Chain A
Amino acid sequence: KQEVTQIPAALSVPEGENLVLNCSFTDSAIYNLQWFRQDPGKGLTSLLLIQSSQREQTSGRLNASLDKSSGRSTLYIAASQPGDSATYLCAVDSGGGADGLTFGKGTHLIIQP
């Protein structure tokens, strides 16, 4: 059974800093890994999707990497802004569309102005 762990559970940094969120998973037989953002009282917004054959994906100030063999992914946020404050969730697709996604518990990020 796939398990996803995110470290740290919470993080508070001053505005402007670069930061890294970590995600690990137990079964390396995955189709893809996705990073989501969740704002309080809202649903999830997909940020980046990395297919199993890829090493990284970039979108603006966000960069996600994937090391499938070691079961790890990182989300790098450059030049953090207060608007980046949210919970970031990592999710793994082990079923190629079926079985849904397995989520971590998330990292609650606060960017101090």
Chain B
Amino acid sequence: EAGVAQSPRYKIIEKRQSVAFWCNPISGHATLYWYQQILGQGPKLLIQFQNNGVVDDSQLPKDRFSAERLKGVDSTLKIQPAKLEDSAVYLCASSKTGTATNEKLFFGSGTQLSVL
């Protein structure tokens, strides 16, 4: 079974530029999550999709971050314009239903973003 795929692996941009990350979850997984992990911290949830609908985006800085999952499969996370404090690893995760209480999350390898 293929895992969660993310690209690119690394990205270096200057502040005020834009950047986009892509994620393809495990086949058949209804729920997709984007997490931000700043160095030395645990991951923080940015947005959660159930199929192509948003379940929770309360911690997404909506003035600069946007995300979509148009066909309920793969997803794109965009930052425009980027700030220095956006430097982090962006992790995508998926789970089968997103509603079961005994359901594990499966994570991709992440995209490491450096904003200069």
Contact = CB atoms under 8 A, between A and B. Distances in A.
Query: Do chains A and B interact in one complex?
Result: yes
Interface of A: 4, 31-32, 34, 36, 41-46, 49, 51-52, 89, 91, 93, 96-101, 103-106
A49 B103 CA distance: 8
A49 B112 contact: no
B104 to A, nearest CB: 4
A4 B104 CA distance: 18
A113 to B, nearest CB: 26
A97 B42 contact: no
A103 B95 CA distance: 17
Contact of B101 (A32, A41, A45): A32
A96 B101 contact: yes
B116 to A, nearest CB: 20
A63 to B, nearest CB: 17
A43 B103 contact: no
A68 to B, nearest CB: 13
Nearest to B47: A100
B45 A31 contact: no
A96 B99 contact: yes
B101 A43 contact: no
Nearest to B91: A43
B108 A43 contact: yes
A51 B103 CA distance: 9
Given A91-B42, A97-B99, 19 more contacts: A31-B101, A34-B104, A42-B109, A42-B110, A43-B4, A43-B93, A43-B109, A44-B43, A46-B104, A46-B106, A93-B101, A97-B103, A100-B33, A100-B35, A100-B45, A100-B56, A101-B43, A105-B41, A106-B42
